[in-house]
Amino acid sequence: MRTITKVLVTNRGEIAIRVMRTCRELGIQTVAVYSEPDRTALHVRYADEAYEIGPAASSQSYLVADKILDVIRRSGADGVHPGYGFLSENAAFAEAVEAMGVAWIGPPPDAMRVMGDKTAARAEMERAGVPMAPGTTDAVKDVDELREAAARIGYPVLLKAAAGGGGKGMRVVERAEDLEAAFETASREAQNAFGDGRMFVEKYITEPRHIEIQVLGDRHGNVVHLFERECSIQRRHQKVIEEAPSALLTPELRDAIGQAAVTAAKTVGYFSAGTVEFLVDEHDPKGLQYYFMEMNTRLQVEHPVTEAITGLDLVKEMIRVAEGHPLPFAQDDLSIHGHAVESRVYAESASRGFLPDPGPLVRHAAPSGPFVRVDAGVEEGGTVPMYYDPMISKVTTWAPTRTEAIDRMNRALGEYDIAGVETTIPFCRFVMQHEAFRSGNFSTRFIERYFTPDVLTAVSDDTKTAAALAAPLLVYAAPASSSGDGAPVDAAPAASGWMARRWVR
């Protein structure tokens, strides 16, 4: 058993702040890292210490493991939390952290490595008896093998990158004559995104529901599931709206999928927090079917809805697991309380295909009220930078019933006042008000079936803020430079009342 006293968060934005808040509650000191344009970012000023790690490009800063490892040494951090994105699923980085004698607040590197390779994961899950969609276990060698597999599965089929995620290297193929071109395009995209162009193929479910199960395990072999999240409202295969629990699952199906997720985690020796994702086909002639899709070996963006219905702090539990504590509860101790919905607020233009719209936040007034949670990574007077994910915040609402949680979200989004960038708030309100979502009768094709830019007019009027009424842009003074030798500098902007105790170049 160990005691973690100082945690370095290898991330930025809202997830860095979210992790640091739990650390602060636990009396644990925090260390931030930042790129040059993030020098005055909110997560930097919230931390107890902050260290610059390079230029704007993440490939020269947040993704450079050696720079992060150097900050661990310089800061004396005895724990590392990766958040999500960047190095969060990099097994080699996790091993390097552990080799320093520092606690990795995440899953074992071996499990990360297996589940990070989609074909290896499929092979492990098939051996464990976890339900799998018809498809190839291994990556296809060439187009001829792909043709044979697709003919055996039956069209339409889905091409997926073996090392992929986030919708990259993914193509739906409706006809055999389109297969070769789709394979070449998807493989090239996967190679560019992941440095790995291998592809596999599986059955394409035309109206799937995306259901994921939150799992939590300790180093003593105990694994539980914390129920499901519905993540079917997506753009470009990336989630925009999440909720827990799902309106689709019966208690019996919830237990079955939950146990499949626990089996998946135990099969690879998993501990810490993770998510096992499934596609659900409710229109299969044999009845509702669910299939393993992938496992995300990290904390998920949408974890607040799980926290809302279980009353657990997942970051706290991850820290306890990293310290060596057993889980303080068993599966039978857990239950669902009420309903929670999360909306991701991005600086994106939904009317222009959800294109990013980075820029200064002239106005940022977040909603509040009973059971409204806002996890923001930026603030009024700051900037949504062009270099990173354009998320502004996540809004989570809770209520005793699903309808009340949706109505509360609609109200909260209507109060959210942002100027300077376009946001996804009007789109999220459109979803909250749409009968398909409210009835629970929707799929991952929601946007394709129901959304066009003109529908935003009716829901956006009371979320817009006229530029003439916007607050003046706040300008923070840059902190003083260090001497260049790594000495601490006691200077930070204090406009928000949050100040890093040390700034280090």
Domains and CATH numbers, the chain: 6-105 (3.40.50.20), 134-203 (3.30.1490.20), 209-467 (3.30.470.20)
Q: Which residues of the chain register pLDDT less than 50? A: 463-505
Those residues with Cβ within 8 angstroms of residue 59's Cβ, 6 or more apart along the chain or in another chain: none
Tokens of 211: 């259901």
Which of 39, 235, 298, 505 is catalytic? The answer is 298
CA gap 353, 453 in Å, rounded: 9
Tokens in use for 57?
A: 């490009």
Bridge pairing between strands 171-173 and 157-161: antiparallel
Please state at what angle helix 251-267 crosses helix 118-128, rounded to 10 degrees: 110
Residue 43: what pLDDT?
Answer: 97
For residue 84, the Cα-to-chain-centroid distance in whole angstroms is 6
Two structure tokens written together for 62: 């947040």
Given this model, what pLDDT does residue 498 score?
35
pLDDT digits (tens, 9 = 90+) for 461-499: 554 443 333 334 333 333 333 333 333 333 333 333 333
CA distances from 227 to 215, 283, 289, 292 (A): 8, 23, 18, 15
How many Cβ atoms sit within 10 Å of the Cβ of residue 262? 21
Strand 49-52 to 29-34 pairing: parallel
Phi, psi of 394 (to 5 degrees): -125, 130
Taking the complete model, does pTM exceed 0.85, yes or no? yes
- Who contacts 396 (Cβ-Cβ below 8 Å, separation ≥6)? 304, 305, 308, 340, 341, 342, 372, 373, 374, 375
Q: Cα 422 vs. chain centroid, distance in angstroms?
A: 21
285/291 Cα distance (integer angstroms):
15
Q: Is 298 a catalytic residue?
A: yes
Look up residue 306 and give its amino acid.
Answer: T
Structural contact between residues 396 and 308, judged by C-beta atoms closer than 8 angstroms: yes
- Give the model confidence (pLDDT) of 159-183 as tens digits: 999 887 667 889 999 999 999 999 9
- Residue 47 has what pLDDT? 98
Single out the residue of 430, 427, 343, 439 nearest to residue 393, CA to CA.
343
Is residue 369 within 8 A of residue 380, CB to CB? The reply is no
Q: What is the pLDDT of residue 373?
A: 98
pLDDT recorded at residue 6: 98
- Kindly state the DSSP code that residue 467 receives in the 8-state scheme: G
Residue 202 confidence (pLDDT): 92
Q: State the pLDDT at residue 460.
A: 55
The token pair at 401 is 């019933």
What pLDDT does 487 receive?
Answer: 33
